[in-house]
Amino acid sequence: AIWGYDGEHTFDALMTWLFVMNASGWDHRHNSAQRDFSMWTRDVATRDDARRWAKRVDEATGASSALHDAATDSLLIDTTTPGVDRELISRLVRGIVDGSVGVAQVEEQRGRRREGLWFDDTEALWDAARAGARLLTHLRALPGISFSDAAEGFSRYTDLDGGLWAIDQEYRHYVRASRAVHVDDVLTDLDRHVENAYRDDYLRPLSRTWDDALRGMRTWDIAVPSSSGRIDSFHRLLVAGTHRRTVVIISDALRYEAGIELADHLRSLGRGAVAVNPWYTMLPSITALGMAALLPHRELTLGVRGKDQVIVEADGRSTSGIDARRTILEGADGRAFTYEELASDAVKSMRSKFKGASAVYIYHDVIDATGDHAASESATPDAVHRAIGELSDLVGKLISADITRILVTADHGFLFQDSEPANDDTAKQSGVPRGRSVSVKKRRYVLGKELESTDDFVAFNATSVGLTDGPSVALPYGTRRIRIQGRGNRFVHGGASLQEITTPVIEVSVGSGGTEKVRDVGIALHYDDTSLKVNRFSPRVIQQEPVSPTRRPLTVTIGLESMSGEQLSSTRVITLDAGVRSEVSLKQSSELILFDGVLERHSGEAVRIVAYKTVHGQVVGEPVATHELTLNDNGFGAFGGFDL
């Protein structure tokens, strides 16, 4: 009988038996069936057929309707029944919410499900569960947030290793991943828990401590390392007088955590040395003032035109709009372009436009253009993702145009919460600060004459925030929004929170050394014996280092072959993508089954376990790892799976 099958002699019955056996767990008597069935379901060419059969068998057996009562270990080995991944994710979500499941467990189960027939359909759900687990695991391990002054708080937030910025990034990643599957109720409880935890366990404690630091400040000056600064010194310190042409890309509202992600992406290109440093904005943290501060100038003045239009002048000249900024830059041997003016340019055209300029400013606006409108503010996480992609592509094109020094920065950051802030005093600020008069009232700042600090607002006069002249500015403490008419409370900026005032300055330097080679993560293969005596065995597949900007994830096909290259076993496709050192070197699921008769025919011969790099389901090149051993038929080969 084929594969040891002794049931009804119809094709439907045979296929049903195969799927039922796969779902319930194979035994050593059916090695051939398991091997051939697994290869059929995993082969790119036959995968769609396998999915159709899986649905057909499920309709006949009703297996998917009984998943709720199945043990988790049983579900993990069932690679074919529709609905298994959703059931596993649902269970994980409950554990993530109550704290019994951390990110490592989600990663482990996600890795085991990769080869399942339905993983592609649920990958976005897996990504969301992993993002939620990563954020909540981080928050639960977070020590108390405290610092003595603004300098310590700024350092605690911006530290590249362990800085609080990572929580904002993880939250943004979760919201984007969850929104990708927003119609799925599996994540409803996790959505709610993430939102509450981000607000109550992070934003509010951070805000309270930062507010205390703000109360101790008489001027808007934070003691920062020499590699950082306030953005009104940006041109003087980083652009003026450099011996190389410098291209400055200013991406509106590219906050610090997004800048770190962009810097990592740029490192992964391997085309230049990439460094990122935190800077801080002027106050209020708005576009008009931030863009002006980044221009060449000796002094800045701020005024209000009409009802509430903020006007900023640099040395008496307007800074509003690309034409005004272009005029100022041309006076300093510079040029200015919008991103749209260059996005479709060929490299040759770009070189021509930059010719003769010592500095070129490029203005990019995706994040602020999306978030600053009530109708689109919910799409802020997608806008950040898009901005990072566009900026990365632009930097690559600039390098191809022979630009060897590129700076990427922003005018301000932003606060973002996926849910509408509560309409109470914990999230909304009523009234206005004390002072002679109020000229502008926005959600995160107030401008006026002689405004004073109170229990609800911190206030600075114009000279205290670095302006030569202008109104005083008052900012609500914490993340509270000032009550004004209209929608648009989820994405805000203008205030003094760390998320709003911290901006990245990313420097890409080409040809100056320091560029780390980009390659795949290292891989090793291991088997605990020098000889192979069984038909089923599980070699260890070891990821030797975590994924990083210069270490790419690696997908490999694992199998056993003779020294001449003849395939001797089934194969497994495994992806090595652990991004945390503690997750590296874990044994991955890699059970292989020898072809019929291999153990007997090749007994005494040297063979090797091999791993081939795999791209889009196709093996490419020579093996990236091998492990040699000897086949040894001792008569017990049928008892595969035991560690003999």
Whether residues 599 and 581 share a domain: the answer is: yes
Q: Which residue has the higher pLDDT, 411 or 272?
A: 411
| Angstrom distance (rounded) from CA 140 to CA 143 | 8
Residue 459: pLDDT above 80?
Answer: yes
**65 lies in the same domain as 100:** yes
Region 463-476: mean pLDDT is 97
Residues 456 and 538 in one domain: no
Q: Is 496 left (phi over 0), alpha (psi -120 to 50) or beta?
A: alpha
- pLDDT confidence band for 58 (50 / 70 / 90): very high
217: which DSSP letter? -
Final residue of a domain: which of 509, 542, 573? 509
18-28 pLDDT, tens digit per residue, is: 999 999 988 87
Could you tell me if 505 and 523 lie in one domain? no
Domain hosting residue 113, numbered range: 2-203
User: Is pLDDT above 90 for 68?
Assistant: yes
Angle, to 10 degrees, between the axis of helix 165-179 and the axis of helix 256-269?
80
Residue 638 falls inside a structural domain: no
605: CATH = 2.60.40.2550
Residue 584 has pLDDT above 70, yes or no: no
Would 562 be classed as within a structural domain? yes
Indicate the burial class of 74 (C-beta count within 10 angstroms; 0-12, 13-18, 19 or more).
middle
459, 489, 509 - which closes a domain: 509
In a domain, 295, yes or no: no
Q: Does residue 449 sit in the same domain as residue 497?
A: yes
Q: Using DSSP bridges, classify how beta strands 446-449 and 437-441 pair: parallel, antiparallel or unpaired.
A: antiparallel
* pLDDT score of 643 more than 50: no
Q: Map residue 251 onto helix, strand or coil.
A: strand
In tens, the pLDDT along 352-371 reads: 999 999 999 999 999 999 99
> Looking at the predicted structure, is the pLDDT value of residue 587 above 80?
no
Distance CA 596, CA 598 (A): 6
Asked if residue 70 belongs to a domain, the reply is yes
Task: Render pLDDT for 515-572 as a digit per residue (tens, 0 to 9).
Answer: 778 899 999 999 988 999 988 898 999 898 888 888 899 999 999 999 999 999 999 8
For residues 505 and 527, state if they share a domain.
no
Asked if residue 371 belongs to a domain, the reply is yes
Mean pLDDT score, 419-435? 84
Looking at the structure, tell me whether residues 191 and 49 fall in a common domain: yes
The pLDDT mean for the chain works out to 92
Q: Give the per-residue pLDDT at 82.
A: 97
Q: Please write the tens of the pLDDT for every residue from 206-222.
A: 999 999 999 999 999 99
- pLDDT for residue 424: 79
> What pLDDT was estimated at residue 524?
92
Per-residue model confidence (pLDDT) at position 511 = 83
Give DSSP secondary structure letters for 129-171: HHHHHHHHHHHHHPPP---SSHHHHHHHHH-TTT-THHHHHHH
What's the alpha-carbon Rg for the chain, to the nearest Å? 30
Task: Tell me whether residue 604 is exposed, middle or buried, using C-beta atoms within 10 angstroms of its C-beta: 0 to 12, 13 to 18, 19 or more.
Answer: exposed
Pick 205 or 270 by higher pLDDT.
205
635, pLDDT greater than 70: no
Do 477 and 439 belong together in one domain?
yes
What pLDDT, on a 0 to 100 scale, did the predictor assign at position 579? 78
Question: Do 18 and 36 contact (CB within 8 A), yes or no?
Answer: no
| 467 pLDDT above the threshold of 80 | yes
445-454: average pLDDT: 96
Q: Do 114 and 242 sit in the same domain of this protein?
A: no
pLDDT band of residue 642 (cuts 50, 70, 90) is very low
Q: Is 366 contained in some domain?
A: yes
Tens of pLDDT, residues 28-54: 788 889 989 998 998 888 999 999 999
Would the pLDDT of 644 be above 60?
no
Q: What is the mean pLDDT of residues 72-83?
A: 95
User: Given a cut of 70, is residue 582 above it in pLDDT?
Assistant: no
User: In terms of domains, do 236 and 368 share one?
Assistant: yes
Residue 457 and residue 571 share a domain = no
Other Cβ atoms within 10 Å of 1 Cβ, number: 8
Q: Is 210 within a domain?
A: no
Of 183, 203, 223, which residue constitutes the final position of a domain?
203
User: What does the pLDDT look like over 112-124, one tens digit per residue?
Assistant: 898 899 999 999 9
pLDDT digits (tens, 9 = 90+) for 317-343: 999 999 999 999 999 999 999 999 999
Residue among 480, 9, 15 nearest 204 (CA): 480
* Mean pLDDT within 115-135: 95
Q: How many structural domains comprise the chain?
A: 3
pLDDT band, very low/low/confident/very high, at 641 (cuts 50, 70, 90): very low
Same domain for 239 and 147: no
DSSP-derived pairing of the beta strands 359-364 and 246-251: parallel
Mean pLDDT of 102-117: 91
What percent of the chain has a predicted confidence (pLDDT) above 90?
78
Q: Is the pLDDT of residue 278 over 70?
A: yes
Tell me what pLDDT residue 1 has.
59
Judge whether 137 and 195 are in contact, CB under 8 Å. no
* In-domain check, residue 294: no
Mean pLDDT of 369-388: 96
Task: Report the pLDDT value the prediction gives residue 640, as an integer from 0 to 100.
Answer: 45
Whole-structure pTM value: 0.89
